[in-house]
Every structure is written in C-alpha cells, then in structure tokens.
Amino acid sequence: SKPGVAPLIELNDGHTIPSLGLGTWLGFTKEGTTAPVTDDSVQKAVELAIDVGYRHIDTAAIYSTEEQVGAAIKKKIAEGVVAREDLFITSKLWNDRHAPEAVVPALRESLARLQLDYLDLFLIHWPVGQFENGTFDLTDYAETWKGMIDAKNRGLAKSIGVSNFNITQLQRLLSMTPVKPAVLQVEVNLNLQQSQLIEFCKMQNIAVVGYTPFGSLFHSKAAPDAPPPRTDEQALLRIADKYHKSVAQVALRYLIELGVIPIPKSVTPKRIRDNIEVFDFQLKRQEREVMKAYDRNYRTIAVTMWKDSPYYPF
C-alpha cells in the first residue's frame, strides 16, 4: 500500500469509506463538558492530515470544530491538494435535535459551518435525546431516523448511520426501517474490543467506526483505575519493535485487523503522520492473541449522566 493512504471499504449503500480517519474532538473538561476551542489547532491538524494522505475526517456539531474542519478543507481544495469527492466528511446530530423535523435543519447548520453542500456521513450521535434545559427528550430514535432518511433523500448526506447504539437498539431499529444504517460508530480499543457488537454488524453489513481507538493507552489520559496496557507495556513494545512501529501504531493496526475503522485524534504533527502509517505491516495470529488479552469491557468514555434515560445504551 502507498504510504499515507488508507484503503477504501464499501458500505452497504454502495458508497465507500476510507479505513482510517482523523478525529477532531478536543475531549472533556474536568466538569465533563466538551473542551472549548481556543485556537486554530484543529484547522492546522486537518490541513496537515490532508497533506499527508488522510481523506476521512470525523467531526460533530457538539465538538465546535466544524468551522475549523471546513476552513481546512476549503484551503486544501483551493490549493489543489484534494478534490471534494476524494474526501469523506462525517458529522453528527446532537441530542437536542432528535425531533424528526429538526434533523434536516440541524444538518444544514452543520453544512453551513463546514462550508460544504453535502456530508459523506451523518450520524445520530447518541440514542439519548435531551432538551437544552437538560430534561430528556423521549422522542424514539426510530422517529429521529426518519429525519435522517429525509436528509439522505435530499442529498444532504450520502450515507447515514448511528453512534453509541447497542445491539438491542440496532436490532429494533432494523426491524422498524427500510433504510439500514451504513455505519455504527462506537468506542473500540484494547480495553473495549466489542467482539459481539462487531460480529453483529458484520452479519448485518454495517461498517464499524471505532472511536477513542487508543483507549487508556497513554499515561496522560488514563484514569487511575484504567486497566493495562500503557505504552510502556513490555509485550506491546516487543511487537512494536519487531515492525519498527510505535505501540500506538500497533494498537491502531490491531483495530484494523478486527475490521474496525479507527479515527485517532491528534493535533500533534508527528502523531498525525504516524497514525496513518499502519497499512504496511500485518500482525501475526499470536500477536493478535496477546492483544486480545487486554479486553476488559472497560469504557474510557463513560457517560453516566444519561443513565436515567430509557434510551441509555450501556
């Protein structure tokens, strides 16, 4: 494979998705809200990512990074580095827009911030609806999905999908709609390998995008109670050294071999470059077994604030 190029994967609706993307969420504050955007680091990151071969960018209305993603895309298209049709841009419907008639207007607002006229993928961010004042919106996600289908029919999103749905919710949605989600985006990493959910999606031909692909691998991010491994784990260092890769790259490669599309986030130039250099080596079965052993059903992104919603997925 060419350096810096992620092979394409076919979706169940006939479109294709690059098998690795760039995340653009700046993470949580100590208070548990999304960190504010204070500089243009996301724009710079997306510009570099496109320069080094990324074609898939993940954002969401709630991240407040859509403007910067859009500015970077506009610049790279103007420079002739890339054409719009070679990019795969994902955004997501926030929880306060679950009314079916609110979906298309919310998508149009995302498109305006991104300066785009269509998304490649639009996702229901969470099955949980919540009004701005904090009370739960009990709109059934199957109703929200009708708004998503409307968006697709209007050509505003080439593909539509869901995020943070569990198997029961996916099965229920599939039984109620003629339009299958093309993608499920969920947390997948060494501590949360999601084998049942991935198996279910394989059978249904739903592509799995893996968020927080590094989980708790980095000391700087891991909670005190997070299970191993960290980047100094000897068994992982041995595998990484063998392929002249980092532990982070080996962790991404493992997800790709599970059939997952990872969307690692970085605003650090060297890391942005490294994270896509994972298509020129292959793990041995025994190495995958070493990595399988870190599976703990442990969530790095634990969102317990919605646990009283009837649609809470975890």
The residues annotated as belonging to the active site are 63
In the complex with ligand NDP, which residue's Cβ is closer, 14 or 166? 166
Q: Which of 160, 170, 275, 313 binds ligand NDP (CB under 6 A)?
A: 275
Distances (CA, A) of 190 to 18, 91, 211, 244: 21, 25, 12, 20
Cα–Cα nearest to 122, from 240, 97, 294, 52? 97
Query: Interacting stretch for ligand NDP, rule CB under 6 A, among 1-9, 232-240, 271-279, 306-314?
Result: 271-279
Residues 73-112 that bind ligand NDP (CB under 6 A): none
How many other CB atoms are there within 10 angstroms of residue 265's CB atom? 23
What are the residues whose beta carbons fall under 8 Å from the beta carbon of 57, sequence distance 6 or more? Answer: 21, 22, 24, 46, 49, 69, 73, 87, 88, 89, 90
Residues 143-172 that bind ligand NDP (CB under 6 A): 163-164
Distance CA 8, CA 24 (A): 21
In the complex with ligand NDP, which residue's Cβ is closer, 29 or 178? 29
In the complex with ligand NDP, which residue's Cβ is closer, 11 or 261? 261
Query: Interacting stretch for ligand NDP, rule CB under 6 A, among 153-161, 173-181, 258-266, 282-290?
Result: 258-266
SS (H, E, C) 195-255: HHHHHHHHHHCCEEEEECCCCCCCCCCCCCCCCCCCCCCHHHHHHHHHCCCCHHHHHHHHH
Q: CB of residue 80 vs ligand NDP: minimum separation in angstroms? A: 27
In the complex with ligand NDP, which residue's Cβ is closer, 195 or 268? 268
Our finding on whether 44 is near ligand NDP (CB under 6 A) is no
Our finding on whether 274 is near ligand NDP (CB under 6 A) is yes
Query: Interacting stretch for ligand NDP, rule CB under 6 A, among 8-16, 69-77, 104-112, 269-277?
Result: 269-277
Structure tokens at 173: 């949605």
279-289 exposure pattern, b = at least 16 Cβ within 10 A, e = fewer = beeebeeebbe
Residues 163-222 that bind ligand NDP (CB under 6 A): 163-164, 185, 211-214, 218, 221
In the complex with ligand NDP, which residue's Cβ is closer, 9 or 78? 9
Instruction: Assess contact for 51 and 81: CB atoms under 8 A.
Output: yes
Our finding on whether 239 is near ligand NDP (CB under 6 A) is no
Our finding on whether 25 is near ligand NDP (CB under 6 A) is yes
Query: Interacting stretch for ligand NDP, rule CB under 6 A, among 99-107, 169-177, 222-230, 260-268?
Result: 260-268
* 3-state SS assignment for residue 155: coil
Our finding on whether 130 is near ligand NDP (CB under 6 A) is no
Distance CA 228, CA 275 (A): 21
Instruction: Assess contact for 295 and 195: CB atoms under 8 A.
Output: yes
* Interacting residues with ligand NDP (CB under 6 A): 23-25, 58, 125, 163-164, 185, 211-214, 218, 221, 248, 263-268, 271, 274-275, 301
